[in-house]
Chains A and B, each alone.
Chain A
Amino acid sequence: MSAVPAMFVPRLNRRRRLGRIFATVCLLLTLGAMAMLLLLLGAITREAWPWLTTRFLANMPSTLNPETAGMNSAIWGTLWLISFTALFSIPAGVGAAVYLEEYAGDNRFTRFIKLNIANLAGVPSIVYGILGLALFVRWLRFDRSVISGALTMSLLILPVIIIATREALAAVPNSIRQAAFALGATRWQTVRHHVLPAALPGILTGVILALSRAIGETAPLIMIGALTYVAFTPGGSLLHDYDHSAGGVWQWFTTAINDQFTAMPIQIYDWASRPQTEFHGLAAAGIVVLLGILLLMNATATGLRAWQQRKKT
């Protein structure tokens, strides 16, 4: 004659035990995922350690002698590539985001652009490489130059910059815009002097993360034919004996951006794909340098975000 219906047996102890097991499994998997990062860094650093010398940073790559090979040309190539990628992609990306958030009305055309950007963000990077090969290398005849690489990379990271900038702009309270309009500011004045400064930390975070993606991208550069063996830096042939006038500097500069180049991930790929283990050590050392740069950029972005959140509260 129990009061509890026979159909329902609470079995609370069993259910709680199941709950504890589930929580433990989830915790272990979370810790496991985090431990993967340590394992990855540990395994690579161990392999890289004997090769991490200043000579490695200063020397040119060598296909014959791993003892003296370095990644000087790759580091300079990446620097040139990323500078120009930033130069092209930041104004275009921020401009597009400002247009979508501050200017465009909510109509079919705007929705189409937004959908299009979301889709572009999901296009595999190698497809951008094919586009860059056909468009910049062959059709516009920029050849396998720094410019071709930077334009390809810019197209690749534009969606990332636009999406991050739009989020940052959308987070700026509307009252700021209304206050500016009430004082007779035009739309551009409002954006330029009030909205953009308020959104700046968020925009910078997005830009840094986008550029760090570009630094690590390998496939598009292979597609546009960034050489795997380049023993000079962009403009390096003129670096020491150029004409010390404005024209001479300009000539050096145009030579540099039209030079063939290699970049850090390309150099790493080249070393990693060789069968000899010495070259694997070099690849690991290259990865450590690359990850060092990326961690530094990531830390800057995280710091900016933390600063921005503290400012808000």
Chain B
Amino acid sequence: MPGMFRKAKESTIHLLLLLCALISIVTTAGIIWVLFSRSAGFFAEVSLADFFLGTRWTPLLEPRHFGVLPLVNGTVLVAAGALLIAVPVGLATAIFLSEYAPPWFRQIAKPVLEVLAGVPTIVYGFFALTFVTPQVLQRIWPQTEIFNAASASIVVGIMIIPTICSLCDDALRAVPRSLREAGYALSATKLEVSTRIVLPGALSGVVAAVLLALARAIGETMAVTLAAGMTPRMMLNPLQSIQAMTGYIVQVSLGDTPAGTIEYKTIFAVGATLFLITLGINLIAQRVLSRFREAYE
């Protein structure tokens, strides 16, 4: 019965492939289950209001305070600084590559930027600690602390330039040629065509690129841990030491905090907060992108 055997084989393979696809669902379920069941234990001891509205974070020292805002402050400070660098540079690079550069220049620039995106984050952290802070920041502002938010911002900014550049480049190139030609026919200059026709036409793609880069900057761990320090505080001075959410999670897991204690459970509560923030940003980015895909069919 070769026909029956063949059918059985086909449906077995179909099932196996389906199981492979289901791993992703199980992973998501696992992340949500782990983060929220473990945080539940934390929130049984600390109220939601104390956690989300508290402005002091000292879970490892007496007197203990479990207000997450100083960590959020650190994360936002680093991510905002990174965007301040990466958005103008990434967007300018994308406009140059898509509108101005000759093909040979694109062929060199794209792989170089890809390598920049492929450099491990620990390398950026080392670069921030041993080059950006002592060779750049401390020469300009001698009062800069060894660990500071600015150096982390700068390297995270460099790290996400390729993300912004490559996604914006795709979005700009998806704008039909006819729109550009219409602009030139009305005697617009190249600058006007690029910034007043192509850029608005690709706006949703650009916004999505910035959002995805922001999510990456918020979730960035090693550069922030190495360069930004371990001082959670409410402060906007980028030249001083802060602590980001990711940096705190690493600090606890490197220490010898016993499992089951409230200090240990904080990493799940902070992890869940981090997960929800990045998930929210990613979902908004996808919403924006799916609108953009409809634009020029």
Contacts and interface: CB of A to CB of B under 8 A. Distances in A.
Interface in B1-27: 6, 9-10, 13-14, 16-25, 27
Interface stretch (A52-60, A168-176, A252-260, A267-275): A267-275
Nearest to B9: A188
Nearest to A95: B20
B24 A158 contact: yes
Interface string B113-145: 111101111111111011100010000000000
Nearest to B123: A287
A184 to B, nearest CB: 11
Interface string B251-288: 00110000100000001100100110011011101100
B292 interface: no
A2 to B, nearest CB: 18
A186 B119 CA distance: 43
Contacts of B23: 92, 96, 155, 158
B250 interface: yes
Interface stretch (A37-45, A67-75, A196-204): A37-45
B31 interface: yes
A216 B17 contact: no
A100 B222 CA distance: 34
Interface stretch (B53-61, B92-100, B174-182): B92-100
Interface stretch (A28-36, A79-87, A230-238, A240-248): A28-36
A22 interface: yes
A122 B215 contact: yes
Contact of B250 (A15, A26, A30, A222): A222
Contact of A126 (B9, B125, B250): B250
Given A123-B31, A219-B222, A302-B111, A44 B21 contact: no
Given A96-B24, A98-B17, A218-B221, A29 B92 contact: yes
Interface stretch (B41-49, B65-73, B186-194, B232-240): B186-194
Interface residues of A, number: 89
A39 B53 CA distance: 42
Given A212-B118, A218-B121, A32 B89 contact: yes
Interface in A267-295: 268-269, 272-273, 280, 283-284, 287, 290-291, 294-295
B6 to A, nearest CB: 6
B191 A22 contact: yes
A222 B221 CA distance: 11
Interface of B: 6, 9-10, 13-14, 16-25, 27-28, 30-31, 34-35, 38, 88-90, 92-93, 95-97, 100-101, 109, 111-116, 118-127, 129-131, 135, 158, 161, 165, 187, 189-192, 194-195, 212, 215-216, 218-222, 225-226, 246, 249-250, 253-254, 259, 267-268, 271, 274-275, 278-279, 281-283, 285-286
